[in-house]
Amino acid sequence: MHPIVIRFGRIGDMLLLAPLLDRLHRGYGAPCLLLGSGPWTAELYTAHPDVASVMQATARHRPLPLNPERWHMLQALRANRDAPVHVCECEPRALAKIKRMLALAQVASNRCVFLTDTPDRPDEHWIDRLLRACGQPPPTRANAWHTPGVPDASAPRLFLRDDDRRDRNTWLRRQGWRGEPIWLVQPCNKRSMRWNGPRDAADDDKAWPATRWVAVLRAMRAARPDARIVVCGAPNEAPMLEAIAASARVHNVEVAARDLPMRRLIALTEIAGGMLSVDTGPAHVAAAMGCPLVVLFGAQSPSVWCPRSPTGSVVITLGGPPRRSRVTEIALDEVITALCDLPPREPELPLAA
């Protein structure tokens, strides 16, 4: 009996489920069936021991009658009538869709655990809230639960396959990499782009001016003259990131946005010396792989959303409530100082070409 976990979130939301998935695996004695959204969920949990399979709806806002992926989820819920269901969603629209799907699948409420049934606590980290609210079985499935005998994981873990590492190494050599240390920079987040181009900075609390990204690339180059700096992002962010890199006019900077699938990003964070990122999913990926990083926060609280590392690698957060609510309020000097304060990481690099 595989426990079912449902969350219609983005990269960071789905990754922060990992400690809960570990607890449910140990409690029920079987890995989880994960119902998620977006094209990233299955890629995040490839080869993950706590996940038996992933079903994902790539069109998050399409109505159920027009969404075959969600119909497949509904059928899976019907086929697993005895499984406990842990609903880890709190966003009202997504939660309404999940409850509608559960009703159509005739899933009894007494075999469900809902995150929203447990009041949240001020400044509680999201992982801790998930474990507290969704980390126990529903009453009707208590006989299938064995209280885990070891402490809960406090941070997500990701797992790579040999194929992932080979793909990363091949890609690096194709870009002309010669064995230099690698540093990652993630300037954009999910709100950075609209369908018709970059979003107005006033409408994005995580936006940092392009001039400061240019200046930080130059500072990183001065501090680490032998490093290869990889600017990460999604394909629709490529023109913006390429413009930043071109304006910086420093050597050995690679823009990886048009050809950076999730598994390649995970593999890169395994060998990176460090990362600078706004508060977004790839920062959580880096922390999960033990990559030291500096994270710039806007309106979200670092106490709730700070990336966590299973290896204890350093995560320095700047900005965020209560003192600040926009990334633009973070000074360039603060970021450069924080990058210099990151302890050195010397991962085992693959052989260069």
Q: How many CB atoms lie within 10 A of CB 63?
A: 9
pLDDT score recorded for residue 102: 94
pLDDT score recorded for residue 67: 75
H/E element holding 299? Answer: none
Burial per residue of 161-190, b for 16 or more beta-carbon CB atoms within 10 angstroms, e otherwise: eeebeeebbebbeeeebeebbbbbbbbbbe
Domains 4-144 and 162-341 share a fold: yes
DSSP E strand boundaries for 88-199: 112-114, 182-186, 193-194, 197-198
Q: Under CATH, what is the fold of the domain 162-341? A: Rossmann fold (3.40.50)
Residue pLDDT, tens place only, 181-240: 999 999 998 878 666 677 777 789 999 999 999 999 999 999 999 999 999 999 999 999
Q: How is 41-99 classified by DSSP, letter by letter?
A: HHHHTTT-TTEEEEEEES-TTS-GGG-HHHHHHHHHHHHTTTS-EEE----HHHHHHHH
Radius of gyration of the chain (CA): 21
Tens digit of pLDDT per residue, the chain (353 long)? Answer: 899 999 999 999 999 999 999 999 999 999 999 999 888 899 999 999 999 999 998 766 666 666 788 889 999 999 998 899 999 999 999 999 999 999 999 999 999 999 999 999 999 999 999 999 999 999 999 999 999 888 999 999 999 999 999 999 999 999 999 999 999 999 998 878 666 677 777 789 999 999 999 999 999 999 999 999 999 999 999 999 999 999 999 999 999 999 999 999 999 999 999 999 999 999 999 999 999 999 999 999 999 999 999 999 999 999 999 999 999 999 999 999 999 999 989 888 887 76
Q: Side chain identity at 139, as an amino acid letter?
A: P
Task: Indicate the class that CATH gives domain 4-144.
Answer: alpha beta
Q: How many CB atoms lie within 10 A of CB 203?
A: 9
Degrees, nearest 5: CA angle 13-19-7? 35
**Model pTM score:** 0.94
Alpha-carbon distance 209 to 104, whole Å? 47
Q: Is the peptide bond before 19 cis (omega within 30 degrees of 0)?
A: no
Q: Side chain identity at 34, as an amino acid letter?
A: L
pLDDT score recorded for residue 19: 98
What is the overall mean pLDDT for the chain? 93
pLDDT score recorded for residue 137: 97
Residues 6+ apart with CB under 8 A from 51: 21, 31, 32, 33, 34, 45
Alpha-carbon distance 92 to 161, whole Å? 36
Domain boundaries, the chain: 4-144, 162-341
